[in-house]
Structure 1
Amino acid sequence: MTDRHSPPGPLRTVAGPLPASAVRGPVLAHEHLALDLARGGDRTATLTAPHRPAVTRELAALRAGFGLALVVELTCRGMGRDVRALARIAEESGVAVVAGTGWYHEAFHPPEVATADTGRLTASLIDEIEHGCDGTGIRPGVIGEAGSHGDVPSGPERRTLTAAARAAVATGLSLATHARLGRGGLAQLELLTAAGLPPHRISVGHQDLLDDPGVHRELAAAGAYVAFDTVGKEGYQSDAVRLRLLLALLEAGHADRALLSCDISRHGYLADAGGGGYGHLFRSFLPRLRAAGADEELIDGLTRRNPLRFLTGGEPR
């Protein structure tokens, strides 16, 4: 297991190992490139085969325009994961991709969850991490987005989150969560650390949807990463509020614990469809952050060094 006292190992991408030192440009810490959430009742919550060319074009353009180097793709079991598609997108766009594993929140749990105890779930994840996803040999490089949907995880979510934490401990992967509307992050952290996973291997998701700087400070002070990962989703939260919350976390001294991304989770968000796309972070939000006083060293920390340190288990210098 990689920990804060060990030299960080290479990233596990869909194309194989990649030294973190080779990632010279920004990283999107929480995205979706291929998913299908239509089973939740929303047929627009898809990024399937017809959308692959648009996804690939966007990533290639961001690589050319902003140096985008890596996408952490957090589509896991029950979300329509397609690691073969991720491999094609990575190859054609020139942007490295890390694939995920684990289970989303309860509404999207596949049947395997209902019939398995925590031990079997843990063993299933470890097998996938060691041997590859869905018979492809493509190994996930992160666990996530491991989900819960309320202030405390439900019974099935406790089992899947505990299994995810145990698998992370056993394999050395880090773990990114889905905290619906930002709620329940502290409960997630408590459960995951109780299963033996150190806080610096945990990213608590969707905290930009929770207007509570005190919770953000508490998560960061404990050593976890605080994900502001729905940037541009104005229907959930305005970017003005996101910026205020991020600045509060930075001013509290936790610049080394913040992660940024856009969480593109339906085809209507793509630039080709008129949405902000994966590039909204670079085109809109980061210029506003710079205008608020952020220098390029801070921007590089938020968009490159922090996500790489999260993935590899390193600690800030």
Structure 2
Amino acid sequence: MNHPAPHTLRTVTGELRSASVRGPALAHEHLVLDLDRVGDGAAVLGAERHAAAVAAELVALREEYGLALVVELTCRGMGRDVRALSRIARETGVAVVAATGWYYEPFHTPEIDTLDVAALAGVLVREIEDGVDGTGVRPGVLGELGSHGDVPAPAEAKVLRAGARAAVATGLSVATHAQLGRGGLAQLELLTGEGLPAHRVSIGHQDLLDDPGVHRELAERGAYVAFDTVGKSGYQSDGTRLRLLLALLEAGHADRALLSCDISRHGYLRDAGGQGYGHLFASFLPRLRAAGADDDLIDLLTRRNPVRFLTGATVEEN
């Protein structure tokens, strides 16, 4: 099996040495997706209609904050479009890592009902090795593998197990969707039970779960704890997110926290009056600095941690 070289990221425009990532990353985003299940078009970032606004935001963030990398976790059944991701990456100069896998149960595609775990893992491995839909674009992460509730549904457990097997086979990492932050420990049990090391796992949406004990346990087991819905005030206040993050940092787990905004509908874009991809940099990180974070900690949280999560390898300090 052709694993990525050590210290190498697999992006939509080719392999990238991790040492080349000198600026911050967004660890869980969507640049193109379609989650519309009710027909109102709200949960959409269209490749044609919204890509220009998305690209404009990324360019502005690259120029103002040095944004270097976006981990784009739109997978099968979520409206993934790797051709559009490649165009956005080239137009903006921001590296983009694409994903493969399956989201949580409401968005499952038909093969999940008909294939077993081994066959589903094979589907993912083929995309990772050969590229998505004949494009030659190879995913660089598995995600966002989803579940809802405290225990994954049977079909979700199947997807998580398949994703873990594909990750082990290809040397990639796994990022999850834990609906409203719940079920992360159960996800980690399933993933590590298939032989995937915990340090190749990021448990998603933990900033929506007001339970510092769970966050500490995930980190103690070696997994990354994703505070990845920053700015989504309809789900959680940033004040609560900051309190939860500070608790994790104070417990000694700064090297296991990931940060992002999870922009997942066009109403979140700046040109639509939303907080945009830059909310992390413009609003949340200044609050973290005011709470005592220095430049090295910010670099750890926004650059070294996400790159280490993707590669499994140590990242040099700036």
TM-score by length of 1: 0.97
* Residue in structure 2 matched with residue 210 of structure 1 by the alignment: 209
* Residue in structure 2 matched with residue 239 of structure 1 by the alignment: 238
* Residue in structure 2 matched with residue 289 of structure 1 by the alignment: 288
How far residue 39 of structure 1 moved from its aligned partner, in angstroms, is 2.5
Secondary structure of the residue aligned to 2:261 is coil
**Alpha carbons of structure 1 residues 2 and 227: separation in structure 2 relative to 1, 3 Å:** farther
Counterparts of 1:108-119 in structure 2 under 5 Å? Answer: 108-119=107-118
Secondary structure of the residue aligned to 1:103 is coil
Distance 1:167 1:10 in 2: 18
Structure 1 vs Structure 2 CA RMSD: 1.6
* Residue in structure 2 matched with residue 160 of structure 1 by the alignment: 159
Q: How many residues are paired up? A: 315
* Residue in structure 2 matched with residue 149 of structure 1 by the alignment: 148
Distance 1:40 1:15 in 2: 34
> For 1:154-208, what per-residue CA distance to the aligned partner results, in whole angstroms no more than 9, with x for missing partners?
1111111000000000000000000000000000000000011000000000000
**Alpha carbons of structure 1 residues 293 and 86: separation in structure 2 relative to 1, 3 Å:** same
* Residue in structure 2 matched with residue 106 of structure 1 by the alignment: 105
Alignment check: 8 A CA contact 2:219 2:225 kept: yes
How far residue 41 of structure 1 moved from its aligned partner, in angstroms, is 5.7
* Residue in structure 1 matched with residue 22 of structure 2 by the alignment: 24
Tell me if 1:39 matches 2:37.
Answer: yes
Instruction: Give, as a single letter, the amino acid of the residue that structure 2 aligns with 1:102.
Output: G
Distance 1:121 1:135 in 2: 19
Counterparts of 1:34-183 in structure 2 under 5 Å? Answer: 34-39=32-37, 43-48=41-46, 49-183=48-182
Instruction: Give, as a single letter, the amino acid of the residue that structure 1 aligns with 2:169.
Output: A
Secondary structure of the residue aligned to 2:64 is helix
Alignment check: 8 A CA contact 1:2 1:313 kept: no
> For 1:85-139, what per-residue CA distance to the aligned partner results, in whole angstroms no more than 9, with x for missing partners?
0000000011000000000001000111111111110100000000001111100
**Alpha carbons of structure 1 residues 13 and 110: separation in structure 2 relative to 1, 3 Å:** same
Counterparts of 1:220-235 in structure 2 under 5 Å? Answer: 220-235=219-234
**Alpha carbons of structure 1 residues 304 and 143: separation in structure 2 relative to 1, 3 Å:** same
Distance 1:109 1:19 in 2: 33
Alignment check: 8 A CA contact 1:40 1:107 kept: no
Distance 2:58 2:303 in 1: 16
* Residue in structure 2 matched with residue 256 of structure 1 by the alignment: 255
- The ranges of structure 1 where at least 4 consecutive aligned residues each deviate by more than 3 angstroms after the TM superposition are none
Instruction: Give, as a single letter, the amino acid of the residue that structure 2 aligns with 1:66.
Output: Y
Secondary structure of the residue aligned to 2:31 is coil
Instruction: Give, as a single letter, the amino acid of the residue that structure 1 aligns with 2:73.
Output: L
Distance 2:256 2:315 in 1: 9
Secondary structure of the residue aligned to 2:176 is strand
Alignment check: 8 A CA contact 1:204 1:224 kept: yes
* Residue in structure 1 matched with residue 276 of structure 2 by the alignment: 277
Alignment check: 8 A CA contact 1:267 1:273 kept: yes
Instruction: Give, as a single letter, the amino acid of the residue that structure 2 aligns with 1:87.
Output: S
How far residue 9 of structure 1 moved from its aligned partner, in angstroms, is 3.4
**Alpha carbons of structure 1 residues 7 and 135: separation in structure 2 relative to 1, 3 Å:** closer
Instruction: Give, as a single letter, the amino acid of the residue that structure 1 aligns with 2:13.
Output: A
* Residue in structure 2 matched with residue 187 of structure 1 by the alignment: 186
Out of 7, 12, 15, the residue aligned to residue 13 of structure 2 is 15
Instruction: Give, as a single letter, the amino acid of the residue that structure 1 aligns with 2:188.
Output: L
TM-score by length of 2: 0.97
Identity across matched positions, percent? 73
Secondary structure of the residue aligned to 1:231 is coil
Distance 1:87 1:2 in 2: 22
Distance 1:275 1:155 in 2: 36
